[in-house]
Structure 1
Amino acid sequence: MDRAHSHLLRRGRFSQPGGLYLLTTVTYERKRIFTDFQLARSVIHQLRQTELDGLCRSLAWVVMPDHVHWLIELRSGTLCCLMRRFKSRSTHALYKVGMPRRRLWQPGFHDHALRREESVVQVARYIVANPMRAGLVRRVGDYPHWDAVWI
């Protein structure tokens, strides 16, 4: 994404506690950082930490080689605060496990507020099937970096 247009992602953004959101964030220059198992697991730990901190309830997520899809129910704060905390903490966690100090995430993130007519379970299935559609695995269960509350 061109940094000059990242501000457009914020236009019209509304954070509703109790709202369901599909969030997507991408690594800087789409570098395939999370092909490294330990780095992917460190990011997953930070996804789980945001839930322990009471910011959200994670419904489903997948850590792909160069991006993260995350279906949440927002508990407190705003989407911007949630993503800022996740990105900051995950960056520091990766530095601690040996990733060279460089930019990890592209600025901004994409969010989609789920509407009543959208099936939360279908969105979760879409998220966890991402590695299959990308050709990384043949079966969802073969990919190690995903979770959903229904499984």
Structure 2
Amino acid sequence: MTVVVPLAPPIMDVPISDSTERMENISLADAQILNLTMISDNLEDQTGRTESGEEVSIILSSDVLFETNSSELNSEAEEILEQVALEIDDSSATTVKIDGHADNTGSDATNVPLSEERAESVKEALADLLTRSGVDFEVAGHGSSDPIADNSTEEGRERNRRVSVTFEK
């Protein structure tokens, strides 16, 4: 059998058998079907996205959107946020979650408010860019409490400084 899925090469020659033999292994968990999640990164503008059957989460690098220790959007941010707004406009979402994150440099006393202010800045920009009404926003700042990369490297810290925008498709 050949298995074909979107965005991947075909998986050739998958064996299928009518055998009644079973492999028993007590340590295996019960089988479960998981939703496929697509993950992609754009190194040019340092954005990323995860996409499941129902939801899209767009990860925006704080280093691209803001100057160091600032929550004021820079000139590069507008073009990126216009693209995000278009996706939200095309979706069925009525709620958009915006989460600000930081690396582990500095203290939570600085990082939590800064990550929340950055998330709020992205919310305000998206609210102005959306062309349809009926979209509510949930904004939160998490400081360094939810890293997606290793904070012991500069590259990891850069990935952890981010704002994520999550909404239903």
TM-score, normalization: structure 2?
0.29
TM-score, normalization: structure 1?
0.31
Greater C-alpha radius of gyration: 2
Q: More helix by proportion, 1 or 2?
A: 1
